[in-house]
Structure 1
Amino acid sequence: MQVTMIDENKYAETMTDVVLPALEQCCEEGWFDPSAAERSAGIEPLSGIMDTGGRSGQLHYLCYDSAKFDAIREQGATATFRGAIVISHGFTEFAEKYDELVWYFLLAGYSVCVLEHRGHGKSARDVDNRCMVWIDDWQRYVADLAGFAETIGQQYAAGMPLNLFCHSMGGGIGAAVLERYPTLFDKAVLSAPMIAPATGMPLGVARVLVGALCGLGFGKKRVFGQSGFTPEFSMEGNEGASEARERWYFKLRCENSEYQTYCAAFEWVRQALKLNRAILNPSACAEVETPVLLFQSGRDIWVLNKPQNHFVQLVKDGGGEANIVRFPESRHEIFSMPNSTYKPYLEKILGFYDDPMIACAAY
């Protein structure tokens, strides 16, 4: 599927003058109460220490209606409704970071639902430090995303396919959802998923070390060497990415204190490692029925590639359908790369979602 990309030389101007006004006309902001989904999964709900407007413990989301978008008659819009896509974002991210991708999905005929995971964006948090992400149990992330997709996501799909797009941490959560809720999604894209985080040491050593630190009371302390958010833009660590896109994301962080999550608590790392072990359980992988397309970044410094390969192979061994598309020169966020990389990446995603033969293979 051919896509017309936003000109990087006019990126901020196009986002401000074209994309954001259109998104505002078809956007619904809401709050999802995850307590029922968490109780169904055997998890006791948390109220959250940050109570905004009486929404204690609730999760913030943004949803975009394809029909309302089509009524705007944006150039390039397909005007053919294809279903809905639920987006599961990455570590320290937020819904508005995905505005450009949402725009492309809307042009292709999909409604889009973006849930902000617990501890991110405007959703409930459980630590005072706004820059730090903490979670008590990785299974809470999974129950929340599944509950959101089963209710809000299905509502926007309106009987048409419900697809999943995940990135990084959101990809690890998404992989676990596919294992535990095998009929929930029609197709799933895992973009540089956190099947295993890059810890700078062997995963077994990291498990022992982080487990010991949490046992000593460091669970809600910031991981050594990580810092809070500072309003100083830099491309360090993102060399080769689109500077226009990186500057736009950074501007959003600077303008919204809720978007300034920037570091991990030790307990978050411990739960990420527990999630890794659960995802790669062969019997869990054998439960996956949803066709999976996994995108891998060759220059990834945040998640490990070999566990992604292992996950795909285990899904195949269990009778599922899963394939890898590798971008050897890409950084972790493929959707933050220049158009020369982003365009073929996006076209492969849309082609995967649109392919009726792959849909048939799921049943």
Structure 2
Amino acid sequence: MKLVSIPANPAPSGAAVGAIETPDGVTLRYARFAPPPGRKGTVCLFQGRAEFIEKYFEVVHDLRSRGFAVATIDFRGQGLSQRAVRDSRKGHARRFSDYLIDLETFVKQVVLPDCPPPFFALGQGMGATVLIESAARGHRWFDRMVLASPMIGLAQRPLFGAGPTFARSLRLLGFGRLAVPGGSRHAAAAEPFADNPLTSDPIRYARTAAVIEAEPALTVGAPTVAWTDAAFRTMTAMQRPQYPARLRQPMLLIAGGHDTMISTAAIERFGFNLRAGSHLVIPGALHDLMMEQEQLRKLFWAAFDAFVPGTPLYG
């Protein structure tokens, strides 16, 4: 296993990169980065759909500058982890609980034996949703979670051209491994910058595109019907008021005020119903909060610092 390092996006120094195997036989790529001297604690970083470790090199630097070790994985079906279907450009999963297997395997084989406690989690998009699902099932791997743009509801548009009933019907008809109708094989981050829904920062957007150009194997295009159906079913469950009310995991949800992919209102409703968490909205930010313009990223990191013990704010 390797990390893809390019001049515009160099790999952080001192990385330990390897592979682990899940109980159901899937090979996952992981990376861990030691903390600076004299500090303790690890932030486990979980990416969004179709993302990969290299996209978050700057975030690794941000976390290590705060004194944390960092550990991260590519979820199954993306990055340089094992793909589930022959066409590697399809983002496929049978069900979202498969990602929980990835999470548990990563924690048990990498985090607990090799990383300094206490443990915190930072999730983006789909990765944030997986963390919420894990907490809902009673797992307390982490002291606190910071969840950026969690996939709880959609922002007034169908998911890759498919609605819940349509996706369920296609899956029941045996088309689960097909790409959603109208979906592209190209990664969203490799599309032209103009009108992209991810970030308003052209430099960070171009940086991700350059990594994809250097290593096309990292990319994933549109998801399959099965992934889309699983996503809709997960979001439907999360939008029930009793779902957040039963969570006991301390968590902070952060939404982008201009996110056109994930519903900011759904994140706010979820946050209002939390018993052990809170939420906030960053005005003007799009979906990829950690890849946004610097003034917006500063707001994100200020919220992180206020919530996670061990950051400079706490001394």
The aligned amino acid for 1:256 is: E
CA distance 1:286–1:184, change in 2 (3 Å): farther
Partner of 1:217: 174
Residues 109-166 of structure 1 deviation map (CA, whole Å, 9 limit, x = unaligned) = 11111111110011111112222101011111122213312442223443x2100000
2:304 aligns to what SS in structure 1? helix
Q: Does the aligned pair in 2 maintain the 1:84–1:156 contact within 8 Å?
A: no
CA deviations over 1:300-343 (Å, ceiling 9, x no partner): 12212232123223322xxxx21112112111001111111112
Deviation of residue 273 (structure 1)?
A: 1.2
Q: Determine the structure 1 residue equivalent to 2:279.
A: 324
Amino acid at match of 1:107: S
Q: Is 1:177 aligned to 2:177, yes or no?
A: no
Counterpart residue identity of residue 217, structure 1: G
Residue type of the alignment partner of 1:116: D
Unaligned runs of 5+ in 2: 1-5
> Counterpart of 1:253?
212
> 1:234 maps to what in 2?
192
Contact 2:156–2:263 (CA<8 Å) still a contact in 1?
A: no
| % identity of equivalent residues | 20
| Other-structure match for 2:225 | 266
CA offsets per residue over residues 170-211 of structure 1, 9 Å max, x none?
111111012113421100001001012457249xx9221111
For structure 1, the residue ranges without an aligned partner over 5 or more in a row are 1-11, 36-44, 48-56, 71-78
Q: Would the aligned equivalents of 2:177 and 2:225 in 1 still touch at CA under 8 Å?
A: yes
* 1:293 positional shift: 0.8
Of 66, 81, 102, the match for 1:144: 102
> Counterpart of 1:161?
118
Does the aligned pair in 2 maintain the 1:213–1:266 contact within 8 Å?
Answer: yes
1:85, distance to aligned residue in structure 2 (A): 0.8
Amino acid at match of 1:254: E
Look up the match of 1:5: none
Matched residue, 1:32:
20
> What displacement does 1:61 show?
0.8
Task: Report what 1:345 is aligned to.
Answer: 300
SS at match of 1:62: strand
Separation in 1, partners of 2:140, 2:290: 27
Match for residue 64 of structure 1 among 27, 33, 50: 33
Larger mean CA deviation between 85-94 and 269-278 belongs to 269-278
Provide the aligned length of Structure 1 versus Structure 2. 303
Residue identity matched to 2:216: S
Instruction: Tell me if 1:127 matches 2:85.
Output: yes
C-alpha contact (below 8 Å) 2:155/2:264 kept by paired residues: no
Aligned equivalent of 2:249, options 267, 284, 290 = 290
Aligned to 1:315: 274
2:291 counterpart (304, 315, 336) = 336
Answer with 240-249 or 307-316: which moved more.
Answer: 307-316
Equivalents in 2 of 1:191, 1:156: separation in Å?
26
**Equivalent position amino acid for 2:279 in 1:** I
Question: Equivalent residue of 1:31, what SS?
Answer: strand
Distance 1:232 1:188 in 2: 29
Report the alpha carbon displacement of residue 13 of structure 1 after superposing the two structures with TM.
6.2
Q: Which has the larger radius of gyration?
A: 1
- d(CA) in 1 for partners of 2:38, 2:305: 14
Question: How far 1:345 moved relative to its partner?
Answer: 1.1
Contact 2:8 2:207 in 1 (8 A): no
1:354, distance to aligned residue in structure 2 (A): 2.2
Summarize the Cα distance change of 1:285–1:187 in structure 2 as closer, same or farther, 3 Å threshold.
same
* Distance in 1 of aligned mates of 2:279 and 2:38: 28
Structure 1 14/91 Cα, relative in aligned 2: closer, same or farther at 3 Å? Answer: closer
Partner residue in 1 for 2:3: none
Structure-2 change in CA distance of 1:245 and 1:65 (3 Å): same
Structure 1, residues 243-299: CA drift from partner, whole Å, max 9, x if none?
111111001111112212121111111000121233345555344222111111111
Q: Is the 8 A contact 2:15 2:32 kept in 1?
A: yes
Q: Aligned to 1:304, which of 263, 272, 287?
A: 263
Q: Structure 1 residues 293, 252: CA separation in 2 closer, same or farther (over 3 Å shift)?
A: same
SS for the counterpart of 1:123 is coil
Give RMSD over aligned pairs: 2.5
- Which TM-score applies when normalising by structure 2? 0.88
Larger helix fraction of residues: 1
Amino acid at match of 1:328: P
On the 8 A contact 1:182/1:287 being kept in 2, the answer is no
